Amino acid sequence: MIGQRKIGVLMGGLSAERDISIRSGEAIVAALADRGYDAWPLFVDRDVDLVLRQSRIDVAFLALHGRYGEDGCIQGLLELLGIPYTGSGVLASALAMNKARAKEIFRLNNLPTAPGYVVQSDSGEDLLEMHGSFGFPVVVKPAGEGSSLGIRIARDELELEAAVEQALRFDDDVLVERFIEGKEVSVGILDGKPLGAVEIVPKRGFYDFRNKYTSGRTEYHLPARLSPERYRSALRLATLAHDALGCEGATRVDLIISERGNEVVLELNTLPGMTPTSLLPKIAHGAGLSFEDLVEETLKSARLRAHGHRRDRRAVQVTFQGPERRTGFLSDAH
């Protein structure tokens, strides 16, 4: 029952996205408390294993972003501790977080992505020789960071070298992709089903960290301004990307719809921002889900994925309270 299950909302973490994570976590705790759950904020640092053992939570709601929180590390720890958690499992989280590896999976599944190559900090190769006749402009981004941290657009060789140098401060691997002109669209996925798509229009430049998190710098169009056919195609492509990486729970897939009308997958976020003004909640609202509804539905998907736990058919039962009282299961036996 609701009073018997203790939910820990993991927030903070060790990545450059710590502040964003805390904002997400605080919003989630408030939403769960509003629905009557016994929710507790758990701030994640290098002592997270001790915190988890001492807190004795029954379920972990992950509000972490970036390295160590979104890349499979915390998911693996929770598997070892036997604590069901929200979001994707270890493998899907790791694949989605590494943009270069995710692109390989997308290509293997015949999903369109922008052409690109990886620059490694210790490769010893000459950058300009590697770039060769690849052309400009290009998008340069750290392979394993989120929130558009370290991302730049390079239009010539000098800008390329500067952009790669900056990106290497965030990650040892840097992804260089061909810049594709078009509409930037994000699709929200919940439990394998698309909720809708929002179009993102920065007033200046591209959708970098500053435009993403500074009020008034970006316009959002919900639903995205696409033809019905193109809109359905974008939702389908995002769902295929979600499935290709083996993702679960709530995710956000970022696409570019080119001027020719072709869709290209940019990346997939397994733990998207969950403040009331973040993209996924915006999309959910357009689908008729309040922020509290979205949080509650995400909680319902929490489970363990390791084979040892699958043999244990116990389920964590939670009574959900809302406009209509209903019962769901947080099961480690799916």
- Which residues form the catalytic set? 17, 147, 213, 252, 254, 267, 269, 273
Contact 134, 101 (CB under 8 A): no
Compute CA distances 186 → 144, 229, 314, whole Å. 19, 16, 36
CB neighbours of residue 235 within 10 Å = 24
For helices 279-286 and 291-300, give the axis angle rounded to 10 degrees.
100
Contact 113, 265 (CB under 8 A): yes
Cα dihedral 314, 315, 319, 325 sign: negative
3-class secondary structure, 45: coil
Residue 244: closest CA among 87, 106, 74: 106
3-class secondary structure, 243: helix
Chain mean position to CA 183 = 20
3-class secondary structure, 292: helix
The residue assigned the tokens 């939403």 is 31
Quote the tokens at residue 167. Answer: 């990106």
